[in-house]
Amino acid sequence: MAIKNALLVDDSKVARFALSKLLASRDMEVNMAGSAEEALDFLNSAQRPDVIFMDHLMPGMNGVEAIKAIKGNPHTAGIPIIMCTSKKSSSFMEEAQNFGVYNILTKPPHTEGLSLVLEQLASDVSGGTLPEPQEPAQVDAAPDADEEPLNLPADASLKLSPKSESGPKTDGESPQVMPLTSDLIEQIARSAVKTHIHNRLHELLSDLFDEQFDHLKRALDDAGKRQKGAVDDKLKALAELVDERTSNLRDEVAAEVNLNLGRELADLRKEFAHNSGFTSKHMAELKDHITSVQTIDTGFWQTLQSEAVQQAHEISRDTAEDIAQRTIDLFVAQQRSATSKLYTMGLAVSLGIFTVGIAWLAGLFA
């Protein structure tokens, strides 16, 4: 399972910006909260992130208290938490793991360290080796490295008493009561002052970094706008210069092209004028061609005419023979049934028709 989205909790805008850029470079969706309270509201109302990056020291609810609240909620207890802190001691890492921290990322974050932490987290999530959520250990926020520990017994309680009252106590007294001497008050006051100064310095430095970040961002935005305006002006001037130079060049090229086209058109006009119309040679060739065509046509028509006359004679002869044969047959039939006079008249009529047909055909194809 890949780590796709993260919740980044830090009161410093600079720290949030730096870490969010590193996470965004790994194609991760980043949501940010400026305080622990805001992070808890986000977890209660929004989608659960794959991992939470929690700052250690924050005004109000610090990182340790926020981790206790997250691990105490069964809906968010399974979300792995990576604490972002400047402490690097092994004892602090052990204490952090006791109250539910998966791993620690030292400030300021680096690409290599972040990659190692996220790769180990992805491996544990994929392999199912992620530590099971458990009730966080009841430990307070880890003290600063430079804070002086109070050398008090584990079951000791403090009691206001003058220095003269300090003396041995009976064995039956429990718990042991420590006299609140001036040295102990000084030690407690020094520890409280250091803690207050450390927290105040952290707030002031965060505000200073945020102010410097906002100032730098505004300066970068203004510089970017000025640079963009200067580039636009330069490009506009360059475009105008190019248009001016190219307009002159276009005029020169157009004049040269027109001159060349005029020369070519003049040459073509001369060539057309020289080759236009039919010359005497062309006329002689055309006349010879027409004569040869007429000769061929005349011979062709004569051949067709002679063939047509011959076919007409053959048709006339066949027709006359057919008519004569029919007439003879008719005469024979009529001779058998009629008188000889009628037979003679029929024969005369048939011969007359045959003669007229021969004459008509001869006149048609003559």
**Residue 328 in tokens:** 């003879």
pLDDT of residue 144: 46
Distances (CA, A) of 319 to 280, 324, 329, 358: 57, 9, 15, 10
**Strands, sheet with 81-85, edge to edge from the N-terminal-most edge strand:** 29-33, 5-9, 51-55, 81-85, 103-106
Distances (CA, A) of 134 to 74, 96, 121, 223, 328: 10, 14, 18, 52, 144
**Sole residue written with tokens 């005369």:** 348
More confident residue, 170 or 307: 307
Q: Residue 340: enclosing H or E segment and its boundaries?
A: helix 340-364
pLDDT of residue 30: 93
Share of the chain above pLDDT 70, in %: 76
**Residue 48 in tokens:** 């659960």
pLDDT of residue 1: 58
pLDDT of residue 339: 67
Residue 154 has pLDDT above 50, yes or no: no
Among 93, 82, 78, which Cα is nearest to 128's? 78
Find out whether 105 and 87 touch, Cβ atoms under 8 Å.
no
Which string of DSSP letters, residue by residue, matches 228-292? Answer: HHHHHHHHHHHHHHHHHHHHHHHHHHHHHHHHHHHHHHHHHHHHHHHH-S--HHHHHHHHHHHHH
- Lowest mean per-residue pLDDT among 25-29, 79-83, 104-108: 104-108
- The stretch 198-226 carries a mean pLDDT of 73
- The stretch 69-96 carries a mean pLDDT of 83
Read off the pLDDT band of 54 (50, 70, 90): very high
Read off the pLDDT band of 142 (50, 70, 90): very low
Candidate ranges 135-149, 192-206, 219-233; pick with highest mean pLDDT: 219-233
Burial 143-163 (b: 16+ CB within 10 A, else e): eeeeeeeeeeeeeeeeeeeee
Share of the chain above pLDDT 90, in %: 11
Q: How far apart are CA 263 and CA 275, in angstroms?
A: 19
Total-model pTM: 0.44
pLDDT of residue 165: 41
- The stretch 163-171 carries a mean pLDDT of 44
